[in-house]
Amino acid sequence: QKEVEQNSGPLSVPEGAIASLNCTYSDRGSQSFFWYRQYSGKSPELIMSIYSNGDKEDGRFTAQLNKASQYVSLLIRDSQPSDSATYLCAVNYEAGNTPLVFGKGTRLSVIA
Amino acid sequence: DAGVIQSPRHEVTEMGQEVTLRCKPISGHDYLFWYRQTMMRGLELLIYFNNNVPIDDSGMPEDRFSAKMPNASFSTLKIQPSEPRDSAVYFCASRSGYMGNTIYFGEGSWLTVV
């Protein structure tokens, strides 16, 4: 059973702080990793993808991947109230065009 | 460019009725996915198609669920008969097989079965 685990939260951080969201996955052979953001009542939208060990930065967002530990994280710097949403971690378990497996998401609340 | 288009956006139906959800993928995308989202189970893959052919339907919960993709620009997910436990948000998503594994979601169909 291929699983993606996330803490459901809520994770509350003050405005301007760094929010750290974590995700673990069950299969060492996993190939690619994604973070989606989902506002209440809306559909998931892609924030970042990461394929190699290490960090990948895009604006205020940094994705971190550690394949040895089967761990992927998302850091949000200078958190804003508009970042309040549920963040979904998704994993592509096999090479090639296979579906993404999603975690249940972590709800983030940024307090002004 | 238009995104994934789903209809209806909201549907309330009585138990036992047939429900048909529709999806138009992004033009040029050759993969189409149907996901269901609930609070308890999160986002679950129901079925996916490649070039209009169903590849994996192991996530379809019961024989009451069926999906078709008659052409590259249209897919349906049908529930017959519907039950209250089918109440969920049903998302259609699509992807180009030539442009990585990122999938793009439609706005979802919010189904309530009473």
pLDDT (tens digit, 0 to 9) for every residue of chain B, 114 residues total? 689 999 999 999 999 999 999 999 999 999 999 999 999 999 999 999 999 999 999 999 889 999 999 999 999 999 999 999 999 999 999 998 777 778 999 999 999 999
Query: With 70 as the cut, is the pLDDT of residue A96 above it?
Result: no
Contacts of A97 in chain B (CB under 8 A): 31, 50, 95, 97, 101
pLDDT tens digits for range B37-57: 999 999 999 999 999 999 999
Mean predicted lDDT score pLDDT of chain A: 93
Question: Chain A contacts of B102, Cβ < 8 Å?
Answer: 34, 46, 49
Q: What is the mean pLDDT of residues A34-51?
A: 95
Q: Say whether residue B5 is in contact with chain A using an 8 A CB cutoff.
A: no
pLDDT for B109 equals 98
pLDDT level of residue A95 (50, 70, 90 thresholds): low
CB contacts of B104 in chain A (<8 Å) are 46
Q: How confident is the model at residue A34 (pLDDT cuts 50, 70, 90)?
A: very high
Q: Which pLDDT score, from 0 to 100, does residue A29 have? A: 81
Distance, CA of B35 to chain centre: 6
Alpha-carbon distance A97 to nearest alpha carbon in chain B (angstroms): 6
pLDDT at A38: 97
- The three-class DSSP label of residue A48 is strand
Interface test mutation site (partner B, options A37, A42, A43, A49, max chain B beta carbons within 10 A): A43
Do the strands B19-24 and A71-76 form a parallel or antiparallel pair, or are they unpaired? unpaired
> What's the pLDDT score for residue A10?
93
Contact A105 B42 (CB under 8 A): yes
Q: What is the pLDDT of residue A92?
A: 87
Report in angstroms the alpha-carbon separations of B36 from A31, A66, B21, B66, B109: 24, 29, 12, 13, 9
d(CA A12, CA A27): 30
Confidence of residue A9 (pLDDT cuts 50, 70, 90): confident
Q: How far is A108 from chain B (nearest CA, A)?
A: 16
Put residue B6 in one of left, alpha, beta given phi > 0 → left and psi -120 to 50 → alpha: beta
What pLDDT digit, counting tens, does each position of A52-63 carry? 999 999 999 999
| The predicted structure's pLDDT at residue B35 | 97
